[in-house]
Structure 1
């Protein structure tokens, strides 16, 4: 077999190239070969193959940037399931191009960090708070930068990092270092540089992933750093339009918002004493829908709003149909994300195939003096039975339906649109450590972060980071958890809340969300699967313990969150408001939880909510790991981007091919059991997507003609509730006859 031809000086003697600064020079093949060899260094690929693919693409007048782009395209073309590491070569070539562009633009690459800071502060790109550090301290920080860390990204990660997060004429390590310095700026002066160094290394080594608002907004003046917000509308115009205004301000700063509408009177209810005058919740949802489109995060993407409604609300059938293609177009809202707030009583009636009553909250409020939206657990059940006993005599605006048929309608809508999300209200509120201060009405956009909300007074606000399990050794677990908690507590001091109720909540509850990504990588490295529930439990027991203990230690240093007194934490209850006896029975190391309970009662805890696992779909590409804690969607596939197809694969696929279990063919009950196991150690929530493959024989290899049917999906959703999962995010399907490996798009849909 003939060896591939390589670049030669003879074939390119008459070719001149145009440099990035506009000057021309004869093409020097050795310079290209040097770049190729650098990009392929310590990667299991043959650099000669890349040279051979480039030969036919050289022409007189070609620019050096075009040569670089051609090298990138050649590397991507060589990428395959058998040789997946070419995507890292393409990533390095992209970074090389970034380095060169930056040098041409500003005259230098790395090595002059203090100069970069001064220039960007003058240009208004960097927050002036960075100047709390002296030039001498910035020079010390400059010595921490390791440019080699820029070369660890595959192509998808390198492109997302540079396009989405970097400012003009900024390099990756400068962005990470500036974030670390700003996060540490609230530390005591004598400790600032020490903590900044620890923060920088954790971020730059991709052991901790900053959520998009932090990484994108922290460096710029007056940036909002929170990822998650939840508001609730009261049943009056002032509250309704106030909530819409708040949603607009959140969207402007790139956050996602959940809006609960369960207090709003139903269609056909009374307005100013006139019967049948109310248009219900849909018109207000349409206003939120149009707000999300109009306030489009600075032109980057449409705003993101999830609207939640309790399962007893009379407008529920129309709520479920508002994204269907049929029906009145004036009652549709296609750009919001519907969320169903589900009670245990409803789920029990679904299981028992019993009737369910839909009611108008306004009539319940005015006739019986009860605010049904505020209630959960036993208080809700007693009130609901009282309402049902008052039908016709007191309550006239209602509808009786079969609970199971209603749930089937929910399932049908999920299979058609992926939504509504399911948020289990009683499960969440039982785990709420702040029951003494109120209740949680619904979930956030990604179904992992929530806390108390009071219309017009307190809006849930939460900052997020994620621990990258793919890049973490066991002995680093405690330190990284401590760093993650401290980073988030510091960002609370640095953020600019977008409205007053957000600022009030931030100060009162100090809610944070330390999440995880790369569980599929962690398992595959150890040759484990998602059925190894004990190993998964032990891992997240550690994470739950270390994060909770870190917040307690911060309380010793800085004081407990203001609403601590009377909370479940103050009673010695721990993760998920569970009594310490639960941990003594279920933890692999129970004695540490007993001591932690006593320490929290004595010293308090700094943050009311501490852990929450986000979907991380895009940020995991930057981090070079699998998203969140779910199985990898596919071992290898191509995603369609604007400039062509991009290969996507988990980081350790070459050596652990058989230990990456693909979610698209995995029994989702196994996923539910794994998430329920993790949920025991996570005090807020977990973004759990479920993915059902509708092709024949996927789940039943002994019955090649058998497909998944509705009862299989029904049983999976019921199992999630029974095992204590707090929410179900998107429902995804692989449709019949559309199972094409090269055209899978699920990896990016969660964001």
Structure 2
């Protein structure tokens, strides 16, 4: 064997010595399982040795090369150790091949492709040599022991392990229990801790997800065994465990004990103990535990299930029933309604928003999702608004603040005879408050600041998220959004002049929109020209627009939202003004100094209501009817942290029914998202949801009474969302949008006028970043991000494979190791893979492969039917100024109320090396530098930024 290896030679062995000192110190008590089953201490020096040998074989051993290799090996070793131990408790044991997988990944990630190739070939050759030299296996496995938490050693029950894995694979196509068991056995050793043994089959199944998506269900079922042991032991007060089959009987026995345990721990509302618990327990459906995918169940475990000092005592069906009971507290037939609500939630046909899931049935039932506030122009009011933010965020509310009334930089302050420092210093305080109040560690506190485009501080506002400049005037954690009036867009189109004002000199602009805003604004421009107004500045409208788009591209903020359509089409214009949207740009409710707008969210799982033949209207109508009742109940049960929120919510009773699983529904219907058929389906599906949501609210009004501010609303005039579209069209002088309807809106319109509405607002499409994970469907109205990638959120990193694509590729004989490798290499895209047929490339086109105009056109057709708005992310490959300008002008022209994140290809990256054995270790979405043609850094939002989860 040669002592040098050229880049063209095949790696066979690496005989070189490493450096004398290990690159990093390691003192955490981790251990390694060798291939012969022995367990040895984790030694980072051996990682450095393997890396050094690999580099020397490829790059040689000159003095210069050795210095460079030493630095590289040190850096890579730290990266490998961090990847292995991240989120792992001290003392965990790793298999030798898991470490080697991380070495391979680190080499690929660092761009050392030749070294990685040599390392891979060397591993393959050594594996072949071991297989050839391996002795005939003994018929009996050695007796292994398991170490319990108290240090007791007991024989390891291999029979139960086999039963558990076999049960987890039952009825799952293309899932092999033997493969999971083989991978699990590889990580067993004598004296293995009980916690490690519980984790071993879960990790084994997760490594196979990229080969077959159904292994995600198997992984979840294996995780369930751990959860059952933890929860049952906590409730019964002694060590317990049960298989899924045993839980068919045990759930009913466990449930009343669980409720009593929660009440004793002062976590559950004592009123839950007054339900007929045995009746509710009999209604639990243990088989629905099998419907979880791994990401969904792990998310629930980490962030939703109730616990005492970190020990979970809540099982999945108990969790759904707890939420259902919490929502049925005020019902007359509350057991009946709790069972109805439970059936809907546990089926995944509908899912309530995260605050509702967190807090329903608890002693602090803050169930609402979003809060919108207006910040007044005085010091007491500003700091009260910041305090309100903290109180609202404490129990998982997402916040939208309207900062437009606060006077701008240079404005006169009468009380001190000084000049204002503008809104920026106060935004910094609000930013830091959001960080400090982190919703109990369940998810990050999050707030979005809105500012109208005529405010004198708008240009500094645009810079808030930049990484350069005075850090005291930056808000790195706060979301920001432009509140754009139509007049500004018209000035941009005309290449006109735009005048910036301080609101203390133009106080009525804040409350005006449409023709009234135009008249007042032009009057103020005339007064400024006459010298009557002191603080103002004029800019070219198109220059400000370009800067808005540039900042959106560079920093991901501020988002573009449109004031006039939000107000002109608002059902509640008779009692107030919409001054902003919320954290995720889907809520459009009135705010004032004495009213904080509140919205209560939940989403229909559209994927469960569509078959290849189309929409299941009967099932969808039934789901929407029950969902609307649940959302309306939130308003009366809710725990309000400030009086302004309670006053507003009880007066107007708004809710926001949305949807998720839209992309999955398109796959079922065989409709490419970039097609006229998909746009038509967006129209059709939203019309059905809108019709049944309005009808359900009308039914609730007949049963419970109209909402107090109903009289004078658009509803009371027989103007439904589809009708309010004409108001916007009339004011703008036309609106190019299909107006077709298919349902009996005339009868519904008459009934709404006669009976009334229970809710001032009924629809809003939120991001569903977390609840769609729970249900195992595509997020909200989002296109497919990637067909194979690693998803990162607060629960960890997870391999995600498009199951519909895998099904189709298998049907055509195209799903194999080569296809998996190609998908990794091409970032989950089918387009560059020649052997994939064109129809599948179109059907499974990913977000950056489609023109954003398709998403805008589909959103415009949905907006016809929605009384609020939708969280619309826009994706653009190879962005430039012309594309961005055309995209956002189209959104305005089509009558959209809001847009959300702009996502650009330069801000994404997917690992191209193997994912096997590394699920939970990678971060697939990273910020990357902009193309060389731009003089700024791309900071567009990562696809799974946990702060985007604050609505749902």
The answer to whether the superposition gives a TM-score over 0.5 is: yes
Q: Could you tell which deviates more after superposition, 666-675 or 57-66?
A: 57-66
Aligned in 2, Cα 1:461/1:199: closer, same or farther, shift over 3 Å? same
State the 1:578 CA deviation. 2.0
Alignment match, 2:302: 163
How far the C-alpha of 1:558 sits from its partner, in A, is 0.4
Query: Using the alignment, how far apart are the partners of 1:612 and 1:588 within structure 2?
Result: 20
State the distance in 2 between where 1:586 and 1:198 align: 36
CA contact (8 A) 1:441 1:452 kept: yes
Q: Distance in 2 between matches of 1:739 and 1:332?
A: 30
- Name whichever of 496-505 and 98-107 sits farther off: 98-107
Question: Are 1:660 and 2:803 an aligned pair?
Answer: no
Please, which moves more after superposition, 39-48 or 722-731? Answer: 39-48
1:704 paired residue number: none
Judging changes above 3 Å, is the alpha-carbon distance between structure 1 residues 206 and 653 closer, same or farther for their aligned structure 2 residues? farther
Q: CA deviation at 1:614?
A: 0.4
Please tell me whether residue 254 in structure 1 is matched to residue 396 in structure 2: yes
Q: State whether structure 2 residue 548 is matched by structure 1 residue 443.
A: no
Where do 1:23-62 residues align within 5 Å? 23-43=152-172, 44-62=174-192
- Please, which moves more after superposition, 21-30 or 438-447? 21-30
Identify which range, 248-257 or 98-107, moves more after superposition: 98-107
Q: How big is the shift at 1:74?
A: 1.6
2:558 equivalent to 1:413: no
Q: Secondary structure at the match of 1:442?
A: coil
| SS state at 1:263 partner | coil
Distance 1:738 1:729 in 2: 21
Q: Secondary structure at the match of 1:277?
A: strand
Aligned mate of 2:787, from 629, 632, 635: 635
Q: Does 1:604 align with 2:767?
A: no
Aligned to 2:329: 185
Matching residue within 229, 251, 259 for 1:110: 251
- Aligned residue among 141, 155, 165 for 1:12: 141
Q: 1:569–1:577: 8 Å Cα contact kept in structure 2?
A: no
C-alpha distance in 2 between matches for 1:122 and 1:644: 32
State which structure, 1 or 2, has the greater radius of gyration over its C-alpha atoms.
2
2:320 equivalent among 172, 176, 197: 176
2:864 to 663, 676, 680: 680
Partner residue in 2 for 1:529: 672
Question: C-alpha offsets along residues 619-659 of structure 1, whole Å, 9 cap, x if unaligned?
Answer: 21111000001112111211357897421234534325633
Q: In 2 relative to 1, CA 681–642 (structure 1 residues): closer, same or farther, beyond 3 Å?
A: closer
The answer as to 2:686 corresponding to 1:548 is no
Provide structure 1 residue ranges, at least 5 long, that are not aligned to the other structure. 366-370, 695-707
Q: Which residue of 1 aligns with 2:372?
A: 230
Contact preservation (8 Å) 2:409, 2:420: yes
Measured at CA, do residues 8 and 89 of structure 1 come closer, stay the same or move farther in structure 2, by a change above 3 Å? Answer: farther
1:391: which partner in 2?
Answer: 528
Q: 1:508 aligns with which of 645, 651, 657?
A: 651
What aligned pairs does 1:448-459 form with structure 2 within 5 A after superposition? 448-455=586-593, 457-459=594-596
Could you tell me how far 1:184 is from its partner in structure 2? 1.7
**Structure 2 counterparts to residues 586-735 of structure 1, below 5 A:** 586-590=739-743, 592-640=744-792, 645-650=797-802, 652-656=804-808, 658=840, 659-694=843-878, 708-735=879-906
8 Å Cα contact 1:568/1:577 also seen in 2 = no
Matched with 1:368 is none
1:387 deviates by 1.1
Q: Note if 1:63 corresponds to 2:193.
A: yes
In the alignment, is the contact (CA less than 8 A) between 2:659 and 2:781 conserved in 1?
A: yes
Q: Which moved more, 1:444-453 or 1:650-659?
A: 650-659
1:431 to 566, 569, 591: 569
Is 2:235–2:261's contact at 8 Å kept on the other side of the alignment?
Answer: no
Task: Compute the displacement of 1:519 (Å).
Answer: 0.3
Structure 2 vs 1, CA of residues 667 and 20 (structure 1 numbering), >3 Å: closer, same or farther?
farther
Shift of 1:693: 2.1
Pairwise CA distance, 1:83: 1.8
**Per-residue CA distance 1:689-715 (angstroms, 9 max, x = gap):** 112222xxxxxxxxxxxxx42201210
Name the CA shift for 1:644/1:486 in 2 (closer, same or farther; >3 Å): closer
2:909/2:924 contact within 8 Å kept: no
Cα distance change on mapping 1:105 and 1:736 into 2, 3 Å: closer
Task: Out of 9-18 and 678-687, give the one that drifted further.
Answer: 9-18
Q: 1:363 to 1:172 in 2, by over 3 A?
A: same
1:126-170: CA deviation from partner (whole Å, max 9, x where unpaired): 11221342xxx2111111111221121111111001111100211
**2-structure distance, mates of 1:738, 1:225:** 36
Q: Supply the distance in 1 between the matched residues of 2:485 and 2:802 (Cα, whole angstroms).
A: 38
Aligned to 2:721: 575
SS at match of 2:505: helix
Q: Does the CA-based 8 Å contact 1:574-1:580 persist in structure 2?
A: no
Separation in structure 2 between the aligned mates of residue 157 and residue 296 of structure 1, nearest angstrom: 22
Which residue pairs with 2:51 in the alignment? none
Contact 1:233 1:261 in 2 (8 A): yes
Between the aligned partners of 1:502 and 1:577, the Cα distance in structure 2 is 29
Counting only pairs closer than 5 Å after superposition, residues 178-577 of structure 1 correspond to structure 2 as: 178-188=322-332, 191-272=333-414, 277-365=419-507, 371-393=508-530, 394-455=532-593, 457-473=594-610, 474=616, 475-530=618-673, 531=675, 532=677, 533-575=679-721
Distance in 1 between residues matched to 2:305 and 2:442, nearest whole Å = 14
Contact persistence 1:625–1:650 (CA under 8 A):
no
Shift of 1:13: 2.7
Shift of 1:326: 2.1
TM-score of the two chains, using structure 1 as the length reference: 0.92
| Compared CA separation, residues 644 and 178, structure 1 to 2 (3 A) | closer
Residues 468-514 of structure 1 show CA distances to partners (whole Å, capped at 9, x for unaligned) of 11223513000000011000001111101110110000110001011
> Contact 2:252/2:278 (CA < 8 Å) preserved in 1?
no
How many Å apart are 1:356 and its aligned residue? 0.8
Whole-angstrom distance in 2 between the partners of 1:404 and 1:11: 79
* Larger deviation, residues 151-160 vs 26-35: 26-35
- How far did residue 372 of structure 1 move? 1.2
Give the conservation status (yes or no) of the 8 Å contact 1:631–1:660. Answer: no
**Aligned equivalent of 2:59:** none
Give the match for residue 8 of structure 2.
none
Relative distance call for 1:398 and 1:644 in structure 2 (3 A) is: closer
Q: Which residue of 1 aligns with 2:290?
A: 151
State how far apart, in whole Å, the 1-side matches of 2:263 and 2:745 are: 46
Q: 1:192/1:220 Cα in 2 relative to 1: closer, same or farther (>3 Å)?
A: closer
Is 1:441–1:453's contact at 8 Å kept on the other side of the alignment?
yes
Say if 1:202 and 1:233 are closer, same or farther in 2 by CA, change over 3 A: same
Cα deviation digits, residues 73-115 of structure 1 (max 9, x gap): 12121221x4222222111111121112222333365222222
Q: Select between 482-491 and 96-105 the one with higher mean Cα deviation.
A: 96-105
Tell me if the contact between 1:339 and 1:419 (Cα under 8 Å) persists in the aligned partners: yes
How far residue 587 of structure 1 moved from its aligned partner, in angstroms, is 4.5
**How far off its partner does 1:563 sit?**
0.1
Deviation at 1:72, TM superposition (A): 1.4
222, 229, 232: which one aligns with 1:93: 222
Over 3 Å counting, the alpha-carbon distance change for 1:544 and 1:159 in structure 2 is same
CA distance in 2: counterparts of 1:291 and 1:577, whole angstroms? 41
User: How far apart are the structure 1 equivalents of 2:376 and 2:232?
Assistant: 55
CA distance in 1 between partners of 2:485 and 2:164 (Å) = 60
Superposed CA deviations along residues 579-629 of structure 1, whole A, max 9, x for unmatched, are 8999xx934334x21111111111110000001110011221111000001
Given the superposition, is the C-alpha separation of residues 405 and 643 from structure 1 closer, same or farther in structure 2, using an over 3 Å criterion?
A: closer
Counterparts of 1:600 and 1:580, CA distance in 2: 19
**Partner Cα separation in structure 2 for residue 656 and residue 274 of structure 1:** 71
Cα separation, partners in 2 of 1:575 and 1:129, compared to 1, 3 Å = farther
Q: Take 1:643 and 1:546, find their aligned partners in 2: how far apart are those partners?
A: 35
Distance 1:640 1:438, change over 3 A: closer
